[in-house]
Amino acid sequence: FPVGPGDCADDDPCDAFVVEETERGFQCRVEVPSPLYKYIIGKKGETKKRLETETRTSISIPKPGVEGEIVITGQLRSGVVSARTRIDVLLDSFRKKQPFTHFLSLALNQPAIQEKFLQFKEEVLEKCSKDHGVSSSLFQNPAKLHLTLGTLVLLNEREIQRACDLLQQCKEDFVDQITGGKPLTVEVAGVEYMNDDPAMTDVLYAKVHMKDGSDRLQMIADQLVERFVASGLMLKEWDRVKLHATVMNTLFRKDPTEERNNTVPGKSSFKERESFNGRNILKLFENFYFGEVQLDSVRLSQRFSSDTSGYYATSGQL
């Protein structure tokens, strides 16, 4: 992640990174997660060669899979700065293309909710199984019911640690103040769909609201996302977080491990998705009551993972 000008150890305020003077010229170190090395190297080393030639620098990259720093050296400071800037731009564009690895979540998998969800599934299959595309493979795994606040691409332990630290910081800065240190009681009731045409539904989700009618959960969600976006750990997607718990998703049909958080539609997935007709479900279950839950922690959850409870493995929580 680019370092802000406040962390600048150089006299030149317009550089957001440190260029050191050495006996032979100048050098700059860039912390890069190892999965991104290949984008700097390029096919048959072409990207790296082109960068070195055009900026008159030499770029040393750790071995694949070994975490470390990329070091740029050159005789001219301007060359080193130019190489560093271009590497940052490359990394930024490839990071945006990486599938997300983690997400901020609130678990909704308490036994009572799981039970009601299974009742919902049973009733939907009983009453709507003749509707186009409706089948049992569309339903979320009850142990994984959750609210997604936002998704993250964390490519090494250091980045995961940064996200955990930020979560802790948010708890101290505003979460405890909003909650008063007590769990939030929310109700999960009613269903909504994600796209324009209910006859062509891809994602159906349960609605979630605070039992006391306040917007405290929304405030926490929005402020958390705002902080994570500002830190560069998360890409901004919406102006406000849409509080929803996915109960049916056509991506689950293809691959049950694809426990997507439908905030980021998969690039390739749209081609294979087969929508379902959700009109009857929306009519019959618009007020279905899934129950109430005490929410007491936001987790940094790891995608495609499970812990002993069946929920996503947690990298950190607040």
In this structure, the number of other CB atoms found within 10 A of the CB of residue 93 comes to: 10
Q: Which helix (H) or strand (E) holds 250?
A: helix 250-254
pTM: 0.81
Amino acid at 93: S
Give me the helices (H) in 42-105, please: 46-55, 77-97
Question: Residue 165 pairs with which residues in a beta bridge?
Answer: none
Tell me the two tokens of residue 183: 């769990």
Does domain 5-97 correspond to CATH entry 3.30.1370.10?
yes
Between the CA of residue 238 and those of 118, 206, 219, 243, what are the distances in Å?
Answer: 31, 19, 14, 12
Q: Are 131 and 279 in contact (CB under 8 A)?
A: yes
Burial label, 148 (beta-carbon count in 10 A; 0-12, 13-18, 19+): buried
Q: Which helix (H) or strand (E) holds 271?
A: helix 269-272
pLDDT of 252 reads 86
Tell me the two tokens of residue 221: 């969600």
Q: What are the pLDDT tens digits along the chain (318 aa)?
A: 333 333 333 444 345 789 999 998 999 999 999 999 999 999 999 999 999 999 999 999 999 989 999 999 999 999 999 999 999 999 989 988 889 999 999 999 999 999 999 999 999 999 998 999 999 999 999 999 999 999 999 999 999 999 999 999 999 999 999 999 899 999 999 999 987 899 999 999 999 999 999 999 999 999 999 999 998 888 877 778 888 899 999 888 766 555 544 444 444 444 468 899 999 999 999 999 999 999 999 999 999 888 888 999 998 888
**Identical fold at 5-97 and 102-317?**
no
Q: Are 127 and 280 in contact (CB under 8 A)?
A: yes
Pick the CATH number of 102-317 from 2.70.98.50, 3.40.50.10420, 3.90.1140.10, 3.30.750.24: 3.90.1140.10
Domains of the chain by residue range: 5-97, 102-317
Distance CA 312, CA 303 (A): 7
What three-state secondary structure class fits 168? helix
Tell me the two tokens of residue 19: 């260029």
Amino acid at 178: I
Its sign, for the CA torsion 185, 187, 188, 191, is negative
